[in-house]
């Protein structure tokens, strides 16, 4: 069954870019993942799905500064022109026919 690995934290200065990584376990490098954002004290929000090909599909209302990409077993979420409201926890999610899992989350701090 798939396992997702995320780094625990990342930081970015206001107006800069940050690239978050979510790594799929061995044997699952072609899996689709989804990214979710959880701002402090709020429910999570779907951002996008990212496929192994690197194509991504964003949810309604997700700002253009959020984008996705892929390389091998790694799935990325890039936030360009980071804003203060981007300070949040970011989780990746994947699944197969028998399993549904989340990564442990990456806390993004805006400096």
Partner 1 sequence: QITLKESGPTLVKPTQTLTLTCTFSGFSLTTTGVSVGWIRQPPGKALEWVALIYWDDDRYYTPSLKSRLTISKDTSRNQVVLTMTNMDPVDTATYYCVYRLNGYGVRNWGQGNLVTVSS
Question: Binding-site residue total for partner 1 (CB under 8 A)?
Answer: 22
β-bridge partners, 45? 37
108 binds partner 1 (CB under 8 A): no
Site string for partner 1, 46-75 (x = CB under 8 A): x--x-------x-x----------------
Q: Kind of pairing, strands 33-38 and 88-95?
A: antiparallel
In the complex, least distance from residue 46 CB atom to partner 1, rounded to whole angstroms: 5
Beta bridge pairs of residue 48: 35, 58
- Using CB under 8 A as the binding rule, whether residue 95 contacts partner 1 is answered as yes
Q: Is 72 left (phi over 0), alpha (psi -120 to 50) or beta?
A: left
100 near partner 1, rule: CB under 8 A: yes
- Residue that has been written with the tokens 């934290």 in this structure: 9
- Candidates 12-20, 22-30, 72-80, 88-96; binding stretch for partner 1 (CB under 8 A): 88-96
CA distance 77 to 48: 9
Local structure of residue 25 (DSSP, 8 states): P
Rule CB under 8 A: which residues touch partner 1?
A: 32-34, 36, 43-46, 49, 57, 59, 91, 93-95, 98, 100-105
């Amino acid at each position: 069954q798939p396992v997702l690995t995320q780094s625990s934290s990342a930081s970015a200065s206001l107006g800069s870019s940050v690239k978050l990584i979510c790594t799929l376990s061995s044997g699952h490098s072609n899996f689709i993942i989804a990214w979710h954002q959880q701002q402090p004290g709020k429910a999570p929000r779907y951002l996008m799905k990212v496929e192994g090909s690197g194509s991504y599909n964003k949810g309604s209302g997700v700002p253009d500064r959020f984008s996705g990409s892929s390389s091998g077993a790694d799935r990325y979420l890039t936030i360009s022109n980071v804003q203060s409201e981007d300070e949040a926890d970011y989780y990746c999610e994947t699944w197969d026919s028998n399993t549904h899992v989340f990564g442990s989350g990456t806390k993004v701090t805006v400096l």
